[in-house]
């Protein structure tokens, strides 16, 4: 079977979020299972090829808003695996994301298939709203191609006026304009993909169920419930070759569960990395004080940064050390900056730093993930891979990947009190029962969050699509 995987970002060429990681690691896992897969991605100005060889394999033209638009198709591969990646280049529409970017990008992909510039795939695997028009375009052109849409975050709809599909040459009556949006005459990119795709999956089993409810359905839960027979959940994974404390070049001390060669065992490795991080942050070097981390986007509607802020304000900061790495809403950046300037046991950095992130996974005792909702989440998997215990809200993929009291700690209510109580519970175990905490670390490190099982589930879904 031949799969075309469509994403708006892909690591290491251009990445702004978790989808960039997934667009690299999932195709790689599928390729390793003998699936013929390639990628289609926009060529933004920010894309960096890092010395990878590139070749222009063709051009394709579309008509959009009555104007002819030509795209150059540039082929490259991942640095470590020979998977074709096709970057679509157009200076006006694809240099930076804009209102028309994803409409013309989707059109260019379909036209390149129709003109045989790209090999016709059996399945187009679409990701989020950025590829939301592709299932509709496949139907519009009556192409013998199946489509799968993966929902990474239901909140990221992507919207435009109904005139955008008119510019695309599509009959607006083919679109699913919701009754309450008729006056605005808007279309919802993600909803178009969900309605017209042959199959839909969310990025965890729990999230696939949550989006059918009023609480998590972002206003389209009734529509999703009507389509629930084609919606499933498949958990994301992480690339163990990239996220690995045995060979992470950012770490001063590499380690594994058991010592071997130049690797420390988990107890010594974690202790050494903790002391190194404490020294780097100018904290007291103390193995008995819990070192608590937060890594994430400052998005108060999803990530719970306000809950953590309240906890840090209230809790006895002499008994804890906090390190916060995150950017986003300016008002929350300012509040955390104030905390770090006022309290010596609170460190905050508002520029993402991959090196510091790795050192936090290795050096912190706990990682806090207080999300209101979390479709899947990757950082809890990475944390456990490094023996860093997650403290998270029981939602979405967090609920599917963390076993409360066994490989981490979960809390139900989306309140700072629930988070604080759970943090105190975790810290109490850390302080009073070193053996139990050490066993929890080992269980967390032994969890298998590689793409192996999830890739098998995607292959099963592909086979169902092809009958």
Tell me if 249 is assigned to some domain.
no
Q: Is residue 242 part of a domain?
A: no
43 and 76 belong to one structural domain: yes
CB count, 10 Å around CB of 84? 18
- Asked if pLDDT for residue 180 goes beyond 60, the answer is no
Average pLDDT, integer, range 290-305: 96
pLDDT at 178 over 60: no
Residues 457 and 420 in one domain: no
- Same domain for 272 and 131: no
Q: How many domains does the chain have?
A: 2
Range of the domain at 284: 266-446
| pLDDT of res. 186 | 78
Give pTM, 2 decimals: 0.93
pLDDT at 378 over 90: yes
Tell me what the mean pLDDT of segment 407-430 comes to.
98
Q: If phi over 0 gives left and psi between -120 and 50 gives alpha, with beta otherwise, what is residue 58?
A: left
- Binding-site members for ADP-alpha-D-glucose are 15
Is 251 a domain residue? no
- CATH number at 124 reads 3.40.50.2000
Are 271 and 392 contained in the same domain? yes
Q: Tell me: the pLDDT tens digits for 100-145?
A: 899 999 999 999 999 999 999 999 999 999 999 999 999 999 999 9
Q: Is residue 301 part of a domain?
A: yes
Q: Are residues 80 and 192 in the same domain?
A: yes
Burial category of 59 from C-beta neighbours within 10 Å (exposed 0-12, middle 13-18, buried 19 and up): middle
Spatial contact of 342 and 309, defined as CB atoms under 8 Å apart: no
pLDDT of residue 241: 87
In the structure, what pLDDT confidence band is assigned to residue 165 with cuts at 50, 70 and 90?
confident
Residue carrying structure tokens 């909803």 = 191
Residue 10 lies in a domain: yes
Note whether 186 and 75 are same-domain residues: yes
Contacts of 195 (CB under 8 A, 6+ apart): 135, 176, 223, 227
Q: Would residue 253 count as lying in a domain? A: no
84 in the same domain as 68: yes
Give the pLDDT confidence score for residue 182 in this predicted structure.
56
Q: What counts of helices (H) and strands (E) characterise the chain?
A: 17, 17
**CA–CA separation, 326 vs 342, rounded Å?**
18
60 sits in which H/E element: strand 55-64
- Residue 181 has a pLDDT of 57
């Amino acid at each position: 079977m031949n799969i075309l995987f469509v994403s708006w970002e892909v690591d290491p060429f251009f990445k702004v979020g978790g989808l960039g990681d997934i667009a690299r690691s999932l195709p790689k896992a599928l390729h390793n299972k003998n699936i013929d897969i390639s990628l289609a991605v926009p060529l933004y100005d920010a894309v960096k090829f890092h010395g990878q060889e590139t070749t222009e394999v063709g051009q394709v033209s579309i008509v959009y808003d009555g104007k002819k638009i030509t795209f150059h198709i540039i082929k490259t591969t991942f640095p470590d695996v020979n998977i074709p990646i096709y970057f679509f280049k157009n200076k006006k529409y694809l240099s930076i994301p804009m209102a028309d970017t994803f409409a013309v990008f989707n059109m260019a992909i379909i036209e390149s298939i129709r003109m045989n510039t790209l090999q016709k795939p059996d399945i187009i695997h679409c990701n989020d709203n950025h590829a939301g028009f592709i299932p509709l375009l496949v139907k519009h052109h009556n192409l013998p191609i199946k489509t799968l849409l993966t929902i990474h975050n239901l909140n990221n709809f992507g919207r435009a006026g109904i005139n955008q599909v008119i510019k695309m040459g599509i009959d607006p009556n083919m679109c699913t304009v919701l009754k309450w949006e008729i006056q605005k005459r808007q279309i919802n990119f993600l909803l178009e993909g969900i309605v017209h795709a042959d199959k839909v999956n969310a990025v965890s089993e729990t999230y696939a169920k949550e989006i059918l409810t009023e609480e998590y359905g972002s206003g389209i839960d009734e529509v999703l419930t009507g389509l629930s027979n084609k919606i499933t959940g498949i958990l994301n994974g992480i690339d163990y070759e990239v996220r690995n404390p045995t060979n992470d070049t950012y770490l001063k001390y590499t380690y594994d569960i058991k010592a071997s060669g130049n690797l420390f065992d988990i107890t010594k490795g974690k202790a050494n990395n903790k002391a190194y991080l404490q020294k780097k942050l100018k904290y007291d070097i103390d193995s008995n004080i819990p070192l608590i981390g937060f890594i994430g986007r400052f998005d108060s509607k999803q990530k719970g940064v306000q809950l953590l802020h309240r906890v840090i304000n209230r809790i006895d900061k002499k008994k804890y050390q906090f390190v916060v790495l995150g950017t986003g809403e300016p008002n929350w950046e300012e509040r955390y900056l104030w905390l770090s300037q006022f309290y010596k046991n609170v460190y905050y950095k508002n520029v993402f730093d991959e090196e510091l992130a790795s050192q936090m996974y290795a050096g912190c005792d706990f990682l806090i993930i207080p999300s209101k909702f979390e479709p899947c989440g990757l950082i809890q998997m990475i944390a456990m891979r490094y023996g860093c215990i997650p403290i998270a809200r029981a939602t979405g993929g967090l609920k599917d990947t963390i076993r409360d009291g066994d490989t981490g700690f979960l809390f139900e209510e989306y309140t700072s009190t629930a988070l604080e109580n759970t943090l105190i519970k975790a810290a109490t175990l850390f302080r009073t029962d070193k053996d139990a905490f050490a066993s929890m670390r080992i269980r967390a490190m032994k969890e298998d969050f590689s793409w192996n099982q999830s890739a098998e589930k995607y292959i099963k879904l592909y086979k169902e699509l092809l009958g």
